[in-house]
Amino acid sequence: MTEKSKGAKSSHLRINSLAVTKAIDENLKLVYQDALKDVVPDRFTKLLAQLREKERKS
Amino acid sequence: MTLSDADPRDEITNHIPDLRAFAMSLARNHAAADDLVQDTIIKAWTNFDKFALGTNLRAWLFTILRNTFFSNRRKASREVADPDGIHAGNLSVLPQHDGKLAFREFLVAFNQLSAEHREVLILVGANGYSYEEAAGMMGVATGTAKSRANRARARLCELMGMTGPTGNAALADPAALAVLSQSGRAVA
């Protein structure tokens, strides 16, 4: 990540120093990884099978 | 095409967990997220000729998913477009007295962000896409993606009580930074 905070004029830009960005990104990864752990419901494998089947018939 | 040729569309299966994770960050509830994933799969399957083989399938699927999400939202127009999350977050989460911010509180703050902010943070921060790639998926200029991400991070800090009433970053205060880095995992 190339976050440049040089020449920051506003507090917003100051907040986005590399260290904070890194800390936030780590938390974001945890949010995302958490959601990734969910077991994929059958409906999606069934859906793909249906789409495949429908196409074969046509 | 011979029988042994694998259908490249079968690859879609491998991306379902990521589609669901991305959809959750946008829709914020499982039922809506899974409907979004279902629409995405159907669109991807039926429009697969538009996918340039050899390019990034996940990025293509993400693009379909976010376009579906935002166009559904426009149609429903239940939620006002709110790229800076002005309407979304009045509820502020403050760090506890022991200086630790639980991961749960980060999640609460994250979910108060606007969908546009959640999107850019999940693409860049969690998935590691470059600003260029994220901008491509969001259909905006790279500079827009970058400034949106900056505003999203600033808003997140604000929601976690990391900025003072004057809007000055609490960053000069090392404790504030420690709070944020402890919210994810325990720093031993």
Distance of CA B39 to the CA centre of its chain: 18
Do residues B66 and B137 lie in contact, with contact meaning Cβ atoms separated by under 8 Å? yes
pLDDT at B175: 52
Question: Which one of B10, B126, B168 has the shortest CB-CB distance to A28?
Answer: B126
Is residue B40 within 8 angstroms of chain A, CB to CB? no
Q: pLDDT tens digits, chain A, 58 residues: what are they? A: 444 444 444 454 454 478 888 889 999 999 999 999 989 999 999 999 999 999 888 7
pLDDT at B169: 46
pLDDT band at B54 (very low <50, low <70, confident <90, very high): confident
Per-residue model confidence as pLDDT tens digits over B130-188: 999 999 999 999 999 999 999 999 999 899 887 644 344 444 445 555 556 555 444 33
Residues of B in contact with A14 (CB under 8 A): 169, 171
Which value does ipTM take for this structure? 0.74
Q: Name the token pair of B89.
A: 């977050």
Asked if residue B68 has pLDDT above 90, the reply is yes
Q: Name the token pair of A2.
A: 């190339």
pLDDT at B32: 95
pLDDT at B183: 52
pLDDT at A49: 93
Residues of A in contact with B34 (CB under 8 A): 41, 43
Mutating which of A31, A50, A55 best tests the B interface, going by the most B Cβ atoms within 10 A? A31
What's the gap in Å between the CA of A12 and the closest CA on chain B? 5
Asked if residue B100 has pLDDT above 60, the reply is no
Spatial distance between the Cα atoms of B124 and B45, rounded to a whole number of angstroms: 26
> Is B41's CB within 8 Å of A48's CB?
yes
pLDDT at A3: 44
pLDDT at B67: 97
Spatial distance between the Cα atoms of A30 and A20, rounded to a whole number of angstroms: 15
Q: What is the mean pLDDT of residues B41-68?
A: 95
Any long-range contacts for A20-26 (C-beta under 8 Å, 24+ apart)?
Answer: A20/B153, A20/B157, A20/B171, A20/B177, A20/B180, A21/B125, A21/B153, A23/B177, A23/B180, A23/B181, A23/B183, A23/B184, A24/B121, A24/B125, A24/B153, A24/B156, A24/B157, A24/B180, A25/A1, A25/B125, A25/B126, A26/B181, A26/B184, A26/B185
Cβ neighbours of residue B122 closer than 8 Å, sequence gap 6 or more: A28, A31, A32, B22, B25
pLDDT band at B84 (very low <50, low <70, confident <90, very high): low
Spatial distance between the Cα atoms of B4 and A49, rounded to a whole number of angstroms: 18
pTM: 0.76
Cβ neighbours of residue B151 closer than 8 Å, sequence gap 6 or more: A12, B83, B84, B117
- The residue whose two tokens read 């945890």 is A30
Asked if residue B109 has pLDDT above 90, the reply is yes
Q: How many CA atoms lie within 13 A of B157 on its CB side?
A: 33
Percent of chain B with pLDDT over 90: 60
Distance of CA B148 to the CA centre of its chain: 12
pLDDT at B148: 97
At residue B142, the 3 state secondary structure works out as helix
